Amino acid sequence: MDQDNAIYVTKPYLPPIEEYVQYLDEIWKNGILTNNGPIHRQLEKALQTRFGWKNTSLFTNGHLALEAALKVMDLKKGGEIITTPYTFVSTVAAIVNQGFEPVFCDIGDNCTIDPNQIEYLITEKTVAILPVHVYGFPCDTERIEKIANDHKLKVLYDAAHAIGVKYKGEDISSYGDISMFSFHATKLFNTIEGGALVFKNAELKSLIDLHKNFGISGQESIELVGMNAKMNEFQAAMGMLLLRYFDFMIKQRKTVYDRYLHNLEGVGSLEVLRKNDDTKYNYAYMPVLFKTGRDRVFSCLEKENIFARKYFSPSISKVESYKRYLRGNSLIKAETAAEQIITLPIYPELTTTQVDIICEIIIDAMYEGGR
């Protein structure tokens, strides 16, 4: 690939510009740019209808949505939250920023948190579990729910990657107390930046909405110490449009995903990570573990202007600022996966020819290293 045709790990799908301009016209007419405007309200409803989401609140990004969730869950400050180190740093930063202690639990199948390890980490200070449906692969939600019920813990799912995923016939948001979805430009469904909380308890709706708007409940009333985390109308307009294209985007991604599987399955010393059974997947990422030679493959791709990523490397347990939270339990699976992972390019416009070229480079790089 020459530089002009470089391929990145993702490329946002953009709707026809004329369709966005129609929304711009509407925004210009309304004169409302943000603060729970009409398009924001439309998108909240449209997402609920499309995905069967229960109570929903939109945010300007996924990270602030996570922080807001931690604020409203009525958790004892300073408490411990069991989470995974195999995630984007946002997950753990949210825990620390909100005054809790992250406790890292190793991963199991599909790089999601290992329920077998969770119970060993529970102490009298544990207040919640924050698992991540990493790459859109559902966690073992049933085991996690049982542990949470047995120990009276809350469950907040980081579902940043999991929009549109169904597990055992249910939308992924139906598991846990609250789920956070990210609509960042790099996600399969984007609102430029953006995110949402979806939650079981309807009473939380007004509290969450207060928190994301400084705690303001009226012109002269401020009910609590809040934040500013509202989605604006330009973001919401992008979301309304991309909802029209959601099925198309998934279909295109599936074609790319299937081509990778066809080309890479059975190639020695690599493992294409797969969804668990009972999952209707969204093809959010194309994660591959290279048991040997990961960095050689990565740099061979880079030389050809193919910019894959090592999501999620390093394991957060290896990051200096977070090492103080280590408890001495083994995180070997997370740390090994972080050293072996490459997330390959996947997005609707990627062609099967491009996938074939990427796979050829990968296989050649592996042969060079003697496989």
Q: Cβ 327 to ligand T4K, closest distance in Å?
A: 22
Q: Which residue's C-beta sits nearest to ligand T4K?
A: 62
In this structure, are strands 216-218 and 195-199 parallel, antiparallel, or unpaired?
Answer: unpaired
Tokens of 247: 């099925």
Q: Taking the complex as a whole, how short is the minimal distance between the CB of residue 133 and ligand T4K, in angstroms?
A: 8
**Contact present, 148 and 129 (Cβ < 8 Å):** yes
> Which residues touch 30 (CB under 8 Å, ≥6 apart)?
37, 38, 233
Q: Which is nearer to ligand T4K, 118 or 160 (CB)?
A: 160
Is residue 341 helix, strand or coil?
A: strand
Beta strand ranges found along 30-167 (DSSP E): 55-59, 80-83, 101-104, 126-130, 154-158, 166-167
Taking the least distance from each CB to ligand T4K, the nearer of 9 and 207 is 9
Q: Which of 71, 361, 364 is nearest to 208 (CA)?
A: 71
Q: Which residues contribute to the site for ligand T4K (CB under 6 A)?
A: 8-12, 61-63, 87-88, 90-91, 132, 158, 160, 182, 184-186, 195, 307, 309, 311
Q: How far is the CB of 184 from ligand T4K (least distance, A)?
A: 3
Taking the C-alpha atoms of residue 164 and residue 51, their distance in angstroms, rounded to an integer, is 7
- Residue pair 75/127 in contact (Cβ under 8 Å)? The answer is yes
CB 78, min distance to ligand T4K, A? 23
Q: Least distance from C-beta 162 to ligand T4K, angstroms?
A: 9
Residue 112 or 279 with smaller CB distance to ligand T4K: 112
Q: How far is the CB of 59 from ligand T4K (least distance, A)?
A: 8
**31 Cα distance to chain centroid:** 32
DSSP-derived 3-state class of residue 105: coil
Interatomic CA distance for residues 144 and 158, integer angstroms:
14
Nearer to ligand T4K, 243 or 366 (CB): 243
Q: Residue 346 Cβ, how far from ligand T4K at the closest point, in Å?
A: 11
Q: Specify the residue, 150 or 302, whose C-beta has the smaller distance to ligand T4K.
A: 302
Asked if 180 and 69 touch (Cβ cutoff 8 Å), the reply is yes
Q: Single out the residue of 190, 3, 229 nearest to residue 94, CA to CA.
A: 229
Q: Which is nearer to ligand T4K, 81 or 366 (CB)?
A: 81
Q: Between 338 and 366, whose beta carbon lies closer to ligand T4K?
A: 338
Taking the complex as a whole, how short is the minimal distance between the CB of residue 221 and ligand T4K, in angstroms? 29
Distance CA 166, CA 173 (A): 9
Q: Which is nearer to ligand T4K, 10 or 57 (CB)?
A: 10
